[in-house]
Structure 1
Amino acid sequence: MASHRRPKQPSRARVSVLTAAAATAVALSAQVAAHAAPQPSKADVKAQIDQLQQEQEQAAEKYNGAKERADQLRKQSDQLQDQVARSQDQMTQLKSGLSEVAGEQYRTGGIDPSVQLMLSSDPSGYLQKASSVQQASNSQAEALKGLLDQQRRLDQQKSEAAAVLASLDSTTKDLNQAKADVNQKLKAAQDLMNSLSAADRAALRAQQQQDDRASRGADRPDIGQLPQASGYAGVAVAKAMSKQGSPYQWGSTGPSTFDCSGLMVWAYGQAGVSLPRTSQEQGNVGTRVPSLDQAQPGDLVIYGPDRHHVGMYIGNGMVVHAPHTGDVVKVMKADAMPINTIRRV
């Protein structure tokens, strides 16, 4: 007959230890949960994305400025290199002419000491030496003077070319850094969007679209109802308005994609007017318009304390602009953002 033993009960001490351990584990779990990063709300994500989009546009304008500077330096460097090459050819021709004189003199009985001095490794002292020993004819002195002048020009051009290349190298580094900053901001914004659930992402996009519609009014303004501008300003307005719906692309000046300052450059370019590349530089063109109620179609409206954004006034309190990555060229209320300055081109 099997014996039924009563199970051995844990000691009170063991129960106390286990209970304390469990309590500690629960407390630690609660602390971890309390300190864990909360799931961001749609409002928080939208605010952060809006900030990143502004920072991205700031970085894009820095990129535009650095690229414009690099393009100018590259063109200047090419011109200087051409000048150096031409000057070097002229130097070679001058020396060749002196060598022919020396060769002819050698064949007819010896090289004139003045020619020897001109072909020496230290021609800069030739005139002084020749003057002291009265060995140079006027024609030889003029020949060497031309050679020395050409050498000075060549040295100066080489020095300028080296300085331009150094500036180009520095500007290229700035350009690459600005490009990296733009991409970093874009990635951070996308990562924030991806941190939301699919439903929240859809809701946030719908909210952004609603905000965009609100910022430009219930309906798209009828261009026929806008005040008509004449001259090149009128052409620029018409060209900019014709690009509504074109995607924003940082660093682009059209004709199918644009960033904010690129749209201004392209539109005015169609009217035969050249504008600086960046919104900061565009904030200094033409003449200042004192207030928005005095703005005329074609005026540039510059936004933000750092002038990182620009739109074109079209009348009726509206501007046309290229907002930011993920958006398109469209119309908004001119005072939807803090205005820095208004410029009449």
Structure 2
Amino acid sequence: MASHRKPRTTRPHSPAVGVTTAALASVTLLSAQAPSAQAAPAPRQSVEDVQKQVDRLYREAGVATQKYDRAKEATDGQRRKVGRILDDVAKRTAEINESRRELGSFAAAQYRAGAVGPTATLIFADSPQDYFEQSHLMDRLTERQRTAVADYETKRAAAAKERAAATKSLERLTASQTELRTSKRTVQDKLAEARTLLDRLTAEEKTRLEKLEREREAEARRKAEAQAKAEKARAEAARQKEEAAKAAPTPSRPGTSAPKPSTPPPPSTGGGSSYAAKAADVLAFARAQIGKPYVWGATGPSSYDCSGLTQAAWRAAGVTLPRTTWDQVKVGTRVATADLQPGDLVFFYDDISHVGIYIGGGKMIHAPKPGAYVREESIYYMPIYGSVRPA
């Protein structure tokens, strides 16, 4: 009977399904994230790789610095040129105004004489010369008036020409300024990237990097010492050859007396006429700059970049060099590394982005890179591109 049936109890909703669903969803989500969480971190660069990257960044910054130097030189020159042209335009404008006043005085005189029309119209004409070419008016002009009109036209044409030149010069100045800003940003970006790489190194890695630098410097010193020995040997051989030539008797022809020994020339006073004298001035200046910081774009006197130092040093010897390494390498005579003399310029890397002043013994004085100071160093610390003797 229905009344004896076990009553059906209504159980509250079981959370089993909900928990299971949530658990499955969580498992699925974790499964999807697992590969990302378990992915191996990017391999850390070796100290050797960091060293190569930093060297590359400094070299690229050096190239950008030379571009900056070239753009700055062009900008400064163009700015001076624009200033001169604008001064000329102002002068021409003043001269035109004076000519206008003179023509105006003619018009006023004719007005007082009752002849207003033609001359008064002249003052407001676009081309007074065209107007005066009308024969009926030219006959009424005095010689002085004709000269004044011709002078006015000449000055107006010259002013128009100079205004056009000023416009072109301003356009070139704007282009130079744009290149200057671009090069500056490039230098700053390269240096910032190099600093970031170095800052990421651990203390142990920095120690390792310093060791690699010392090894590279030691190798460069060994090569410089070898060149110093070779230079000393050549100098000694040249001295012995000269002494032998002096000691050898001079044969005389029959019937003639032996020639009297010639009087040796007086020693050079080093008045700047010989290359050695100029080189001495160059090296004296360069040595006085040792310890001053490298600053890209700087030309002294408190800081230098590489080509700024070489330019200033040779200026001290009375020789004007271009601003950039790319132009300095074209000046003077090319010389082989084995034939270097003190004062010669040594250029580095295939992109010719660095330069130093040779001092002998395989060494140079140069402004190395940001964070460093003007110093003596082996020329073999960097790959040599070539060398020149500026004067």
Distance in 2, Cα, partners of 1:188 & 1:88: 52
Deviates more, 1:111-120 or 1:272-281: 111-120
Distance in 2, Cα, partners of 1:98 & 1:344: 62
Q: Tell me, what secondary structure is at the counterpart of 1:74? A: helix
Equivalent position amino acid for 1:323 in 2: P
The aligned residue for residue 136 of structure 1 is 141
Distance in 1, Cα, partners of 2:360 & 2:293: 23
1:326 to 371, 379, 383: 371
Distance in 2, Cα, partners of 1:260 & 1:28: 51
1:183 to 185, 188, 207: 188
Ranges in structure 2 where 5+ consecutive residues have no aligned partner: 1-23, 236-269
Cα pair distance change 1:337/1:52, threshold 3 Å: same
Q: Tell me, what secondary structure is at the counterpart of 1:97? A: helix
Are residues 1:48 and 2:53 paired?
yes
1:88 to 93, 100, 103: 93
Equivalent position amino acid for 1:92 in 2: N
Q: Tell me, what secondary structure is at the counterpart of 1:310? A: strand
The CA deviation at 1:204 is: 2.0
Cα pair distance change 1:136/1:110, threshold 3 Å: closer
The CA deviation at 1:119 is: 4.6
Distance in 1, Cα, partners of 2:69 & 2:311: 12
1:166 to 154, 158, 171: 171
Cα pair distance change 1:97/1:241, threshold 3 Å: same
The aligned residue for residue 194 of structure 1 is 199
Deviations 1:22-77 (A, max 9, x none): 996897268611xx311222111111111111111111111111000000000001
Q: Tell me, what secondary structure is at the counterpart of 1:230? A: helix
The aligned residue for residue 64 of structure 2 is 59
Length-normalised TM-score, structure 1: 0.83
The aligned residue for residue 272 of structure 1 is 318
The aligned residue for residue 262 of structure 1 is 308
Cα pair distance change 1:90/1:204, threshold 3 Å: same
Equivalent position amino acid for 1:337 in 2: M
The CA deviation at 1:307 is: 1.4
Pairs within 5 Å for 1:178-327: 178-209=183-214, 211-212=216-217, 214-216=219-221, 230-289=276-335, 291-327=336-372
Deviations 1:264-307 (A, max 9, x none): 01111222322111111111112322x12222221112222221
Tell me, yes or no, if the aligned pair for 2:348 and 2:382 is still in contact at 8 Å: yes
Length-normalised TM-score, structure 2: 0.74
Deviations 1:85-125 (A, max 9, x none): 00100011111111112112212322373564355233241
Tell me, yes or no, if the aligned pair for 2:216 and 2:381 is still in contact at 8 Å: no
Give % identity: 33
Distance in 2, Cα, partners of 1:27 & 1:172: 53
Distance in 2, Cα, partners of 1:202 & 1:339: 28
Equivalent position amino acid for 1:155 in 2: A
Q: Tell me, what secondary structure is at the counterpart of 2:116? A: coil
Ranges in structure 1 where 5+ consecutive residues have no aligned partner: 1-16
Deviations 1:290-335 (A, max 9, x none): x122222211122222211111122223222111112222223334
Distance in 2, Cα, partners of 1:73 & 1:247: 29
Cα pair distance change 1:322/1:213, threshold 3 Å: farther
Distance in 2, Cα, partners of 1:29 & 1:95: 83
Equivalent position amino acid for 1:152 in 2: A
The aligned residue for residue 32 of structure 1 is 39
Equivalent position amino acid for 2:92 in 1: S
The aligned residue for residue 10 of structure 1 is none
Distance in 1, Cα, partners of 2:132 & 2:214: 80
